[in-house]
Amino acid sequence: QVQLVESGGGSVQAGESLRLSCAASGLTYHLGCMGWFRQAPGKEREGVASISSEGATSYDDSVKGRFTISKDNANNTLHLQMDSLKPEDTAIYYCATYARPYGWLACVRSVSTYRTWGQGTQVTVSS
């Protein structure tokens, strides 16, 4: 059974950085995609970034150039480096994963595609 546990959230000032981590256990599929999502109060959950098992990444336009998704395969850990944070980045951040049926399929960032989720970690950015 796959389990995901996020950490690294906190409260920062605008312009500062945070690094989120997601420890994964029980992952057995090699065609998997992992992603970071966020949900602000009163808003729908949205995809922030994704990374494939081959290391291909994609980002939402709102975070391009500021956020970097990466994974440490040796330790089964997913990271999200968040730089130049803005107040609008305030949200609960979740990591999630799903298995692609075919390796040639690109990873997506749609919420409904992901099957396993972590419990989330709060990120608060003040101006």
Cα distances (angstroms) measured from residue 74 to each of 23, 25, 78, 124: 11, 12, 11, 30
Indicate the pairing of strand 57-59 with strand 77-82.
unpaired
pLDDT digits (tens, 9 = 90+) for 48-78: 999 998 999 999 999 999 999 999 988 889 9
DSSP class per residue in 34-47: EEEEEE-TTS--EE
Comparing CA positions, the residue from 91, 76, 72, 74 lying closest to residue 18 is 91
CB 30 within 8 A of CB 97: no
Tokens of 26: 């029980």
Per residue of the chain (127 residues), give pLDDT as tens: 889 999 999 999 999 999 999 999 887 656 689 999 999 999 999 999 999 989 999 999 999 999 999 999 888 899 999 999 999 999 999 999 998 888 888 999 999 999 999 999 999 999 9
How many residues belong to the chain? 127
pLDDT at 74: 85
pLDDT at 79: 97
pLDDT at 29: 58
pLDDT at 15: 98
Distance CA 104, CA 112 (A): 20
